[in-house]
Every structure is written in structure tokens, then in C-alpha cells.
Amino acid sequence: MTIEFLTPAQALERVRSGAVLIDVREAHERAAGHAQGALGVARSQLEADPFATVPSADTAVVLICQMGGRSTQAARALEAAGFRNLASVEGGTTRWQAEGLPMTVPDQDQADFYDRYSRHLRLPEVGEAGQRRLEAARVAMVGAGGLGSPAAFYLAAAGVGTLVLADDDVVDRSNLQRQILHTQASVGRPKTDSARTTLNALNPRVRVEPFAERIHAGNVERLIADADVVIDGADNFPARYLLNDACVKLGKPLVYGAVHRFEGQVGVFDAGRHRGQAPCYRCLFPEPPPPEAAPNCAEAGVLGVLPGVIGLLQATEALKLILGIGEPLRGRLLHFDALGMRFRETRLRPDPDCPVCAAGREFPGYIDYARFCAGG
């Protein structure tokens, strides 16, 4: 029998006469709303074993998708399997809804979730399970400035459930050239408050916890204790060494980033969870460089877009770590040269004599990081 093509109104009449209506879209698509009474069976599942859904080949079956293409393909597959009474809905769910036919619609929160993250949900590597994992995740970020701005923006957009932002500074006009979380109206406000306003406007599902304190040995564990990933957006060496040591002690992956003039670096230091296999920041820099060899942005300047590139790479690594996909920059340092538009990679090995992360070594305790970085 030839496959019939029905308008939504005709399909509804056919269903009311006893036909089985099957929505062949993916689960996350159906969750945003589907024709009332439809059975939800993804096309691939239906085609693999149609008799698991419709035991008799003589049953009248009406297939529906989003626009009509997939339902037609599914109908052809069922026809090849021996089904004799098949129809596809022209215009699919889109037309069904536009014509005001009865729909089953999820509650507002569920609808927001499926609509907001629909592009993630289409990725098999993410899907609904991965998106729920992101929503349950907690990322601690030190710095709501040049690196923290793009990283926080994209992590919030991606649906990371909780962002803890640590920064004790206020917004200055000179920050606006690169710190895109902040605007002219934010000048003089604490950066954590300005960031929270911006991120909540972007995605109200994300919880932003301001940590308006300068990190030190007495509060760093309170900042990162419950974090799944820690992002280093600090602009000074004492904070970087402190973060590294705390992450090693507590077994947290640390996504490192740094910028200088026209160049940047990104890496993942995960020695706390992989002792003797992955390096920590101290394996790369056992001793801090002298201050004159590493001036900060206020002294040396920085190309405004450069923190954006590096911060986005940090956000990418954080998402991969949370989702458990891809190959993190663990044991690798990625260098970016903006003027030459080149990336290069340096392989890093754990230092077997590292004072903090060497296999079997007890945590030595926190030190006076400011004095250490000053050469004292």
C-alpha cells in the first residue's frame, strides 16, 4: 500500500478512529512538546525493531516528526518491514502546533531546559545525561577579569549549574577593553557583583556565588572544596602557586591560563587525581620568575582580544572535564601567538621530586606565597 500523507487535522481524525500515532523524534525534541496521545519512539529505535512498538503489521500507523521528513523515512522503513497501513503527517509537529491541535507540553522549567540547551542535546557526546551533569556541576574561578570573563560567560551559557567567582577587586574603566563581563555602568562596582548581574541576565538557571575575597591559605579550601573543576584566572604568581597546591591537596583539576602582551598559555594540571602521571604547576615552574621578567598587564599591556581566546579555551577544557569527553590538556601546555596566529604545544612530565605532587609524598602545607614569589 502507498504511504499516505495527511494534514495534521486528517491525522488527528485518523488517530481518533483507532490509528497509532508515533512521534519519531529524539527524546529531547519530544520533551519540548508533542502531539497529544503520541507514542514517543526515536526513529532509529523504531526502525530497528518496529514490532516492539506495533505488534501487528496490519495496525494503522501515523508517523510524525518535526517537519515531516523523518516520519516519511520511517514510514518507508516500516513499509519495507511489511506494514501495510502507514501515513506521515505533512508539516509535522510544527504544523500540528501552528494549527492549534492538542499538544502535551512540559512544565515551564522543563521547556526552558530543552529549548535553551537544544544544540547540546543534539550532540551524542553530551545529550540529556551530559547536560544534566553540567547543571549539577560546580566550577570555582579565581578572577572575574580578563580570563574569567569569557570563561564564565561561556560556562554560564553552557549550563554549568554553579559558578563560584573569587575576586576582591572593583571594576575600573581600564578593565573594559578586555573584561567583557563588565560595562561602563559597572565602573566602581565589585567585580563579583557586576559579573553576577551579567551572568544571571544571560542564564537565570545558573547560580552565581560571589566570593569577594582575596584568596589566601586560610580561605582557598573554602573556595574550591566542593568544586568539580577549578579555573585559574589569577594575574599574580602567589595566587597561582596557592591554587596549584590546594588543588593537589584536594584532588581537583586545575585549568590554568595566562596572557602576556600578544601571547597566552593554557593547560590542565591534574596531579591531585593522577599522582606520578600528570604534572602540577610546580612541575612546570619550580621557581617563580623574577618580577621584572613577568610584568603584569598593567605594566606590559595586553591585546584586548587575547584573554578572550585563552579564557574560551579554559572554558572548553572545563566542559570536557565535567563531561568526561575528549582529551584534556593534561600534561600538555598549549601556547598561542596572536600576532603569528599560531598554536604550539609543549609536553609536560610530572617531576618525580616535586615538593607538592610527587607520588607518595604527603602534602607539605601551605607556605608564604608572596615571600616565595618575591625570592625570599
**Residues carrying an active site annotation:** 297
What is the three-state SS of the chain?
CCCEEECHHHHHHHHHCCCEEEECCCHHHHCCCEECCCEECCHHHHHHCHHHCCCCCCCCEEEECCCCHHHHHHHHHHHHCCCCCEEEECCHHHHHHHCCCCEECCCHHHHHHHHHCHHHHCCCCCHHHHHHHHHHCEEEEECCCCCHHHHHHHHHHHCCCEEEEECCCECCHHHHHCCCCCCHHHCCCEHHHHHHHHHHHHCCCCEEEEECCCCCCCCHHHHHCCCCEEEECCCCHHHHHHHHHHHHHHCCCEEEEEEEECEEEEEEECCCCCCCCCCCHHHHCCCCCCHHHCCCHHHHCECCCHHHHHHHHHHHHHHHHHHCCCCCCECEEEEEECCCCEEEEEECCCCCCCCCCCCCCCCCCCCCHHHHHCCC
* Burial readout 147-158 (b: 16 or more C-beta within 10 A, e: otherwise): bbbbbbbbbbeb
The Cα 202–Cα 211 span in angstroms is 20
Cell of 83: 506494514
Cα end-to-end span (Å), the chain: 88
φ, ψ of residue 243 to 5 degrees: the values are -60, -45
**Residue in the block written with cell 579564557:** 311
* Distance in angstroms (rounded) separating the CA atoms of residues 126 and 119: 10
